[in-house]
Amino acid sequence: MKRGPWNRRLFLKTTGLGLVALGAGGPPRFLERLVSQAHADASGRRRRTLVAIFQRGAMDGLMAVPPLEDAGLKELRPRLAMTPRASDARARPLDLGNGFGLHPAFEPLRGLYRDGVLALVHGIGSPNNTRSHFDAQDFMETGTPFRKGTDSGWLNRALRLAPAPEPTPFRAVALTGALPRSLYGSEPALAISDLRQFRLRGRGRTSPTTSAHGFESLYEQTAMELLRDAGDESFEAMRTLKELDASSYEPAPGADYPDGGLGAALKQIAFLIKSGVGLEVGFAETGGWDTHVGQGTFQGAFAKRSRDLARCIAAFWTDIAAHRDDVVLLTMTEFGRTVHENGSGGTDHGRASCSFVLGTRVDGGKVHGGVPRLRRNELEDGRDLPVQIDFRRVFAEVAGRHLGVQQDAALFPGWDGSRYPLLRA
Amino acid sequence: MPWSDAGLSEHQAASHLVDRFTFGPTPGLVDQIVAQGLEEWLARQLRADARSDDLDAKLAALGTLALTNDEIVRDYPRPGRLRRQAIAAGRLDPELAGGDQRRVLRQYAQEMGYKPQRQIVGELVAQRLYRAVHSPNQVAEVLVDFWFNHLYVSATDNQCRRFIGTYERDVVRAHVFGRFVEMLRASARHPAMLLYLDNALSSAPEHVATPVTLAQAELRQQPGRAGRRYDKIFEQMERNEAKRQKRMQEIPEERPPRRGVNENYARELLELHTLGVDGGYTQRDVEEIARALTGWTLLPDGERRARIRERMQRPLAAQLGFVLDGDFLFAADRHDAEAKQVLGRALPPGRGIEEGEDVLDMLAHHPSTARHLARKLAVRFVRDDPPASLVERLAAAFEASGGDLREMVWALVACPEFWDESARRAKVKSPYELAASSVRALGAEVVRPRHLARWVDRMGQPLYRYQAPMGFPDRATAWVDAGALLQRMNFGMSLAAGRVPGVRVDVAQALGGREPESADAALVEYSRALLPGRDVEPTLTALRPLLGQAQIAAEIDRRAAAAERDAGSRASAGMDSMQPQMEGPEEALIDPLAPEEDSGAEASEPAALTLTQVVGLILGSPEFQRR
């Protein structure tokens, strides 16, 4: 079958073919619904996608986006500080023209910042000052910073509260091994690290074709509605992915995803967006940000992770060029790191960090929030960047403006703060 | 047991009982229970005294199951501590790159005789699967799953991870047929719970009276030399403490928590463990209970462990109100000894550990707790939306028996709602239940549970690794979605085909070694064997049309087997148009977790079902997902 570029009309034409093998005719029903909706809805809302990237381990926001003219940085971080006057040019931050710099590993994002589609939110964090990764990630993912028992994640609640679309098994997909806590909850969400694995396995005598036939006929006639519907969805999803042929997906020219987990995840998210299967939340994660040891400067642990993140995001943005108006990408991390460096060339658990928010309607090309003067007496507990923007303000803004969530109080139970203005209507 | 009132035959009743209180029928189990008598079987199960040498041998191979908390602290250090120790010993250069550090640390750990914590969790998962599949005491095992999930601790928390095995053993298994209050007390004192929900950190704020300040004042007030002697002792203690505080400040990870109450455990204790979210308590109650439990902590790691333990043996420790029980420590100097008010009851000032014990008793015997637990039991053992009448009946039984957990099983089966048509097959198996029941239905044997565990993960239930303190959800909608269902189908197929490494499967075992006469007979006999007591007609109706080429199927089976024997690694593509998807030679050597390739082109007409496929389809069928 024909390979991309993906186009709904072409897709519909081709989906009629080759389905016999899976034991059914015609295109997946939910896709028909989606496509017809898109046609009828030319002037109305389009299906929008929020891409969330969790940087697990707590990214050092101060190294990502350092202030350029604060002598305190060098004092508190004799080995880690990167300043415009560094003797080695590679160790100089990229000047953003507003007193802040960008770590050179984020060079692939500089153009997006300049184009005004990338916003940097500095001083973002949680009102709960726990320095435990476990607790802080939970608090951020549930969206309830003082409540460990919350059983749903904020992204799942966002889907519940957003205008209900036609059902599709691909409404929320985490490209992760296990479902992240952000997506726990009542709305169905798929966790799968490799879309190509979404199929019946089997070889030789246990041919997947025959098995599919058998399972379909078993699930079609079963009395329990839940199982019947999920079975139906499952087969539709399998057919869709088979038709879309994820394994032969080729990103747009110039979309150069680095090897590794995050690149693979974002590539698949781009694939789902471009396939028009109704993705509203795509979730990916990246680890290795817990830089207690050997954090490095222009090279080293931090630079390596950051370069990967920046290249992944840049490739993704290139890949979905035609869909940019429908996509917002948001990075998050559980907390930031100490302003002073520790005894092993690293930093310890701190408070505020920074987030990247990318989208054509984002108030980009600037640094929102900020950092105080880097003097011990201006830091939280004499050591950390204080939290100036509650992460819920940014999450609520994105869920509200982008996904159409209206009830912030239900999105973040127990919170009565206001959204942080970051997206244009 | 009022099963006949619900119109059930004894065989159907036995099948329902097995669905609810075991990890699924093994070949012949339902008949055996009918022969034994349902009441007699359940009574025996509730004594939980059956032995299995095979199971014991499997469990004996898992060395971590017998560890004590002390041994865990000694041999399974937390990674941060290991690192600090290696640096202090001059063995690790903190400037080394990450990969080199890990290598040096591994080497160092090995020399020191340290073991990795993941071994504990790995063996814990293994024993759960061994027991679910092979334990003759199935009811106990089902209840361990239930109560562990109720008083849940998570292996995703790196503080409590290494203590989860002893938690399950000493808190849950030890009390699974005891009284609820005993299990609750044990959990409140166990390091896993103390760390998971942070009570270990919770202390009275600065300048609040503690049993220690009260006792010290009293001792110092003694006339003459006795009083002066205590003055001296306590002044020395204060100096030591100040020194310790200073030293600890220099090690960030060892920095003692700032003083202050942590409400986390108190909140979950009320909301999840006892009264339930609508149980009629207020935020004030959470705060007051948290204060009542301040000072409930555990012995620290490292050199301080021995020192504090030694100090706790001295008579003065008891005089000041300290209590050491195993590695549970009531740190009297961290306990808020002022007056409190809990659930409308005034707690007088000046008390120590007994205050928290009273609170736990009060909560365990609160009527809301009876209703909360009654509802949870009804959801687990009857249906996702249990009728109010059932919940009330069970709550009354809970109160009448003083929370006797064995009595609760009898109470459940005494309820007409338990046997009602609306309860039968009403539950969707959790992935853990599905995996265990599939292996059991086939009469298969687990020899290495690792891959089986991976399947349970993949179907959506990473054992011990649910992140939130409420434990895995217990309702069908949480388990069934398009992705999870697909994994269930794949699991059924893989298991039947013998492609789950570590599980010895011979599908003929499910029929007691009998070979069916024809493809249709195979379908009928396997459906009945794997779904005893169920109506198998819908399954037969769905699958029968696919058996059209039964002879060919049998032929393919025989030929494939012959080809595997003969051909070795010879490429099989294009050998025979009848077998378009001939597989490679050694299934067992192929990593089942690696992406698979569908070999060969796809046929436009599906081929007939094979025997293993019939079995796989039944295991993956909607009927088999229910219990």
pLDDT digits (tens, 9 = 90+) for B191-226: 999 999 989 989 999 889 999 999 999 999 999 898
pLDDT tens-digit series, residues B40-63: 999 999 999 999 999 999 999 999
CATH at residue A82: 3.40.720
Task: Answer yes or no: is pLDDT of B326 > 60.
Answer: yes
pLDDT at B557 over 70: no
Q: Tell me the average pLDDT across A402-420.
A: 96
Q: Which of A191-205, A329-343, B467-481 reaches the highest mean pLDDT? A: A329-343
Q: Any chain B CB within 8 A of the CB of A381? A: no
Which of B250, B425, B434, B467 is the best substitution to test chain A (most A C-beta atoms within 10 A)?
Answer: B467
> Is the Cβ of A130 closer than 8 Å to some Cβ of chain B?
no
* Interface probe with B: pick from A190, A225, A226, most Cβ of B within 10 Å: A226
* Cβ separation B613–A206 shorter than 8 A: yes
Interface test with B, best of A20, A56, A215 (most B CBs within 10 A): A215
- Minimum mean pLDDT among B233-247, B311-325, B399-413, B538-552: which range? B538-552
Question: Which amino acid, B515?
Answer: E
Q: Which of residues 68-107 of A touch B (CB under 8 A)?
A: none
**What residues of chain A lie within 8 A of the CB of B272, using their CB?**
149
Q: How far apart are CA B614 and CA B619, in angstroms?
A: 9
Range of the domain at A194: 43-206+255-411
What share of chain B has pLDDT > 90, as a percent?
A: 71
Task: Work out the pLDDT band at A304, boundaries 50, 70, 90.
Answer: very high
Contacts of B579 in chain A (CB under 8 A): 204
Beta carbons of A202 and B460 less than 8 Å apart:
no
Residues of A whose CB is below 8 A from B625 = 227
Domain membership flag for residue A418:
no
In the predicted structure, residue A177 carries a pLDDT above the cut 70? yes
pLDDT in tens, B140-150: 999 999 999 99
CA dihedral (B355, B357, B361, B366) positive or negative: positive
pLDDT value, residue B563: 53
pLDDT above 90 (res A285): yes
**Residue type present at position B274:** T
- Is residue A161 within 8 A of residue A406, CB to CB? The reply is yes
pLDDT value at position B514? 78
Is B596–A148 a contact, with Cβ atoms under 8 angstroms apart?
no
Rounded to whole angstroms, the Cα distance separating B281 from B263 reads 14
* Closest residue in B to A135 (Cα–Cα): B157
**Residues B489, A215: C-beta atoms closer than 8 Å:** yes
Full DSSP string of A46-103: PP-EEEEEEETT---HHHHS-BSS-HHHHHH-TTT---TT-SSGGGSPEE-SSSBEE-
Residue A6 has pLDDT above 80, yes or no: no
Q: A383 touching B, CB under 8 A?
A: no
Q: How confident is the model at residue B249 (pLDDT cuts 50, 70, 90)?
A: low
- Provide mean pLDDT across the span A69-85: 94
pLDDT at B257: 55
pLDDT at A205 over 80: no
What percentage of chain B carries pLDDT values higher than 70? 88
For residues B460-485, give the mean pLDDT: 90
- Closest among B301, B223, B290, B227 to B261, alpha carbons compared: B290
A365 three-state secondary structure = coil
CB atoms near residue A414 (< 10 Å) = 11
Chain B residues within 8 A of A206 when measuring between CB atoms: 493, 496-497, 610, 612-613, 616
pLDDT at B509: 85
Q: Give the model's confidence band at A41: pLDDT under 50 very low, under 70 low, under 90 confident, else very high.
A: very low
Query: At A206, is the pLDDT very low, low, confident or very high (cuts 50, 70, 90)?
Result: low
Mean pLDDT of B89-99: 80
Helix (H, G, I), strand (E, B) or coil at A417: coil
Determine the residue of chain B that is closest to A348 in CA distance.
Answer: B252
CA atoms within 13 A on the CB side of A128: 22
A184 touches chain B (CB under 8 A): yes
B chain contacts of residue A192, beta-carbon cutoff 8 Å: 483
* CA distances (Å), origin A191, targets A260, B182, B482, B562: 18, 39, 10, 40
What digits encode the pLDDT tens for the residues B154-185? 998 888 999 999 999 999 999 999 999 999 99
Instruction: State the best of A207, A225, A334 to mutate against chain B, taking most chain B CBs within 10 Å.
Output: A207
The 10s digit of each residue's pLDDT in A30-40 is: 555 555 444 33
Where is average pLDDT lowest: A70-74, B261-265, B332-336? B261-265
- Taking the Cβ of residue A228 and every Cβ of chain B, the question of whether any pair is shorter than 8 Å is answered with yes
- C-alpha span between B436 and A190 (Å, rounded): 24
Put simply, the answer to whether B622 touches A184 (Cβ < 8 Å) is no
Sign of the dihedral through C-alpha A6, A8, A14, A15: positive
Taking CA–CA distances from B467, the nearest residue in chain A reads A181
Residues of A whose CB is below 8 A from B476: 226
Q: Which residues of A touch B597 (CB under 8 A)?
A: 203
Instruction: Verify whether the Cβ–Cβ distance A205 to B560 is below 8 Å.
Output: yes
A205: chain B residues, CB-CB within 8 Å: 497, 556-557, 560, 581, 583, 610, 612-613
Is-cis flag, bond preceding B386, omega within 30?
no
The pLDDT score that the predictor gives to residue A202 is 77
Q: Model confidence over B251-292: pLDDT tens digits? A: 655 555 568 888 889 989 999 999 998 899 998 999 999 999
Q: Which of A201, A213, A236 sits opposite B596 (nearest CB)?
A: A201
pLDDT band at B560 (very low <50, low <70, confident <90, very high): low
Please check whether residue A200 touches B, CB under 8 A: yes
Of B101, B560, B626, nearest to A204 by CB-CB distance is B560
Residue with more model confidence, A358 or B92: A358
Among A149, A192, A231, the residue with its CB nearest the CB of B622 is: A231
Structural contact between residues B381 and B408, judged by C-beta atoms closer than 8 angstroms: no
- For an interface test with A, give the residue of B489, B564, B612 to mutate (most A CBs within 10 A): B489
Number of structural domains found in chain A = 1
CB contact under 8 A, B604 and A21: yes
Which is more confidently placed, B605 or B613?
B613
Q: What is the DSSP string of B374-404?
A: HHHHHHHHT-SS--HHHHHHHHHHHHHTTSB
Q: What is the mean pLDDT of residues B563-570?
A: 50
Q: Is the pLDDT of residue A1 over 60?
A: no
User: How far is B221 from chain A, CA to nearest CA, in Å?
Assistant: 39
Is the CB of A293 inside 8 Å of chain B's CB atoms?
Answer: yes
List CB contacts of B212: < 8 A, sequence separation 6 or more: B320, B321, B322, B332, B333
pLDDT of the residue at B582:
30
- Which residue in B328, B81, B100, B84 sits closest to B192, CA to CA? B328
Q: Quick one: which of B438, B453, B452, B455 has its CA closest to B509?
A: B438
DSSP state letters, A181-195? GGG-SSS--EE-S-G
Tell which A residues from 22 to 51 touch B, by Cβ distance under 8 Å. Answer: 23
Q: Considering the domain boundaries, does residue A75 fall inside one?
A: yes
Query: What's the pLDDT at B36?
Result: 97
pLDDT at A27 > cutoff 80: no
Segment B444-472 shows an average pLDDT of 93
Per-residue pLDDT of B30-45, as tens digits, reads 999 999 999 999 999 9
A4 inside domain: no
